[in-house]
Structure 1
Amino acid sequence: MTLPNERVAWFNGEFMPEREVRIPFRDSSWIYGDGCFDMTRSFGHKLFKVKEHVQRLYRSLKYLRIDPGYGPEEMCRLSEELFERNRHLLGPDDDYWLAQRISRGVRPVEGDNLDHHGPNIVLECMPLPFRQRASLYEEGIKVAVPSARRTPPESLSPRIKSHNYLNLIVASQEVHAMDPSAWAILLDINGNLSEGLGSNIFVVKDGVILTPHERYVLPGVSRQTVIDLARSEGLRLEEADIDLYDAYNADEVFITSTSLCLCPASRVNGVEIGPKGQVWGPVTRRLADAYCRLVDFDWVAQYRRHLDPSAPSRPF
């Protein structure tokens, strides 16, 4: 039975209360991180770019050689139905992350008595952390670079959104040990900026926007949205090798992610970015305004309405 205030999830063919979802302990994602996922979000209780996120999910599945048993169209339909089943639980100024999570599943073991082997699939909604992150839109993100390098594409493609986030988690833990409010952005194997946990980085210098080459990062849907907006606004944007010298001397730095959309960075390794006291540079502001127009919703104001000075700013 689903309680009146309880979210539902979709698990292996059935909608059910979240508390009833059970993943076997021999699931390959639990044992090896062998699986992938994707996430979109809503704006004003309306889902954004479900199709694009699901298409990226299926590119990850193809790379991992996992067949979920049905195609992107059905995944989109199920995702939208799940959102509708949970929409009524949203407060007037809240929104959801919506995730599709797929593991390779459980290989049969003699005597396991399981009814289901093969991929385990979970679709779920969870509230976005507005209160915890609201201060980032007033103060800017503090970016810090850990000693751990991003897994190189020669070892494992960073372009898949897999369940194995240990590289990014270990790097983030190192940064949080020094500053719990900082966000980790890793260098790639060549010493250039790459990405962080669920986040892409952009720098602006003399009106030109630069972002790391796609080969070395997960090509975020929000990243691509900003690239498209920049070009529609007549701004020059290039993929490039960006090192710390470029970041320290940038006029502006900003981060994109599904939850944050676009958020200014105020410091990189303690170095203040842009003019003293500047949080929102003109290019960052212009792109954020264009993003709000695209989704027909002011998500910057939404974050600011949740502002609580006592809430720590944490990336996850």
Structure 2
Amino acid sequence: MTQEFKIDPRNENILISVNGELLPRAKAVVSVFDSGFILGDGVWEGLRLHDGGIAFLREHIERLYEGAKAIFMDIGLTPDELVARLFACLDANRMTDGVHIRLMVTRGVKATPYQDPRATISPATIVIIPEWKSPKPEVVAKGLKLHTVNVRRGAPDVQDQKLNSHSKLNCITACVQAMNAGADEALMLDPLGFVATCNSTHFFIVRRGEVWTSSGQYCIPGITRSAVIRACRENGIAVFEKQFSLYDVYGADEAFVTGTFAGLVPVREIDGRIVAHPLAPKGDWTGIGPMTERLTGLYKALAKREAKRAL
């Protein structure tokens, strides 16, 4: 799995921030009447701690507030206040590196289980869960196996896929379908049948020295995705956001996925086809490709450079 991680016993004793109160893991709870629990009504961010700072902090916070605005939800804190609360939680846990953070905001507690926002009787619920969490090296070493599922990324007039909401059921359904097919992650298509994204990561291919990713119209505006595109442009690597089909995917030289948790992870197999240049000798996957390896280094350097403690 893309999100597979090494178990760290320190996570048993972490402090979790629930509406500004720091609570032990076992006591960090929200109401059964919370909008997030009842309806999946909220937005969230996954963040990564590097050398005491959060990589691409401004971009993450901007996406969170943009999503809240889109669904008419008042977070109740200014961005600076939210960042201060975030680092208060990290500092209380004495965390400086190798940490993944889940920042979640829901509309708040309901008077009764009902979808109308006017039934909300509390300010927004804000939960911050920081964990010492690093991807397993063997996942990167062996590469991922993807399976194209029939669960599509929907059109924006149904539910805009750019919204990083708590309502992730279509992605979960896609993930289950891929899992049942023996794959690590689902490759999802857009309404027209072009490649959109994976169920929990963004998808890239490398073709004849060019880096391709989807148009971005049917996926969340990925922070790591944007950073990889930026790294390409800053280093003279041809990169394109465009429509492309599974035909292009099957003929790619390399493929990889991106996400805040693991950065770049290579893909070894897609729908039973080994990822390799069409003229390469048939056989097993030969390992991480040169472009993926180069971009991994460029992304890590960029993330470290962009790690900050304030907006």
Query: How do 1:75-224 residues align onto structure 2 when only pairs under 5 Å count?
Result: 75-88=82-95, 95-109=98-112, 117-131=122-136, 134-179=137-182, 181-224=183-226
The 2-side partners of 1:127 and 1:85 are apart by 14
The percent of aligned pairs where both chains have the same amino acid is 27
1:248 aligns with 2:231: no
Secondary structure of residue in 2 paired with 1:255: strand
Per-residue deviation, 1:137: 1.4
CA displacement, residues 140-186 of structure 1 (integer Å, 9 cap, x when unaligned): 1111111111122221111111101100001110111120x521121
Structure with larger RCO (C-alpha < 8 A, sep 6+)? 2
Q: Write out per-residue CA displacement over residues 16-60 of structure 1, whole angstroms, 9 at most, x where no aligned residue.
A: 223222211111211111111001112356432222211111111
1:186 & 1:130 partners in 2: Cα distance?
Answer: 23
The one-letter code of the counterpart of 2:230 is D
Alignment check: 8 A CA contact 1:11 1:120 kept? yes
The 8 Å contact of residues 183 and 196 in structure 1, kept in 2 or not, is answered as yes
* Alignment partner, residue 113 of structure 1: none
Give the alignment's Cα RMSD to 1 decimal: 2.2
Contact 2:162 2:221 survives alignment (8 Å): yes
Aligned to 1:310: none
CA distance in structure 1 between the partners assigned to 2:20 and 2:91 by the alignment = 17
Measured after TM superposition, the shift of residue 136 of structure 1 is 2.2
- Runs of 4 or more, structure 1, over 3 Å off, are 43-46
Partner amino acid, structure 1, of 2:140 = Y
Partner of 1:307: none
Moved more, 232-241 or 287-296: 287-296
CA contact (8 A) 1:83 1:98 kept: no
TM-score by length of 1: 0.83
Q: How many residues align?
A: 283
**Which secondary structure state, in structure 2, belongs to the residue aligned with residue 53 of structure 1?**
helix
8 Å CA contact 1:36, 1:57 repeated in 2:
yes
* Uncovered stretches (5+) of structure 1, i.e. residues with no partner: 110-115, 298-316
Task: Answer whether contact 1:202 1:255 (CA < 8 A) is retained.
Answer: yes
The CA deviation string for residues 264-314 of structure 1, in whole angstroms up to 9 with x for no partner, is 1111111111145332222111111212323459xxxxxxxxxxxxxxxxx
Query: Structure 2: any 5+ residue segments left out of the alignment?
Result: 1-9, 113-120, 306-311
Q: Distance in 2 between matches of 1:34 and 1:229?
A: 34
Per-residue CA deviations over 1:179-211 (Å, capped at 9, x if unaligned) read 0x5211211111111112320001111111111
In the superposition, the TM-score normalised over structure 2's length comes to 0.85
Q: Do the aligned partners of 1:51 and 1:76 also contact (CA within 8 Å) in 2?
A: no
Check whether the contact 1:187–1:194 (CA below 8 A) recurs between aligned residues: yes
**Corresponding position of 2:3:** none
Distance change >3 Å, CA 266–CA 197, structure 1 → 2: same
- Which residue of structure 2 aligns with residue 259 of structure 1? 261
